[in-house]
Structure 1
Amino acid sequence: MSRLFARGRRTVPARPAPGTALAEAVDLHVRLGQREVLAGIDLSARAGEVLALVGPNGAGKSTLLAALAADLPAASGEVRIDGRPVGDWSAPDLALRRSVLPQAAALSFPFPVGDVVRMGRAPWAGTPFAEADEEAVAAAMAVVEVGEFAARPFSALSGGERARVALARVLAQRAPLLLLDEPTAALDLRHQELVLRICRERARAGDAVVVVLHDLGLAAAYADRAAVLHDGRIAADGPPAEVFEDALLSRVYRQPVEVLPHPRTGAPLVVPVRAVEGSYDGLVSQAGT
Structure 2
Amino acid sequence: MINSSKLEYQNTDFDSYVEYDTVANEILGKASRFTGINVIDLHSIDIINYFRLTYNIQFINYTKAPPIFDSYRERLQAQVPKLTDCIKMVDPVFSEKTSGFTTIVSGEYVVFLNLDVVDKSPQRYIFTVLHELVHIYHHLSNKYIRNLFANSNVEEDYPIFFNEYENQANYIASILCVNDWALIDNLNNEMTFNELCTEYQMSGPAVYNRLKNFLQHTLQLNRYERSRVLYNYRYNNDFVGMHTIVRIWITETDIM
TM-score normalised by structure 2 residue count: 0.31
If each structure's strand is expressed as a fraction of its own residues, which one has the higher value? 1
Q: TM-score, length-normalised on structure 1? A: 0.29
Higher radius of gyration, 1 or 2? 1
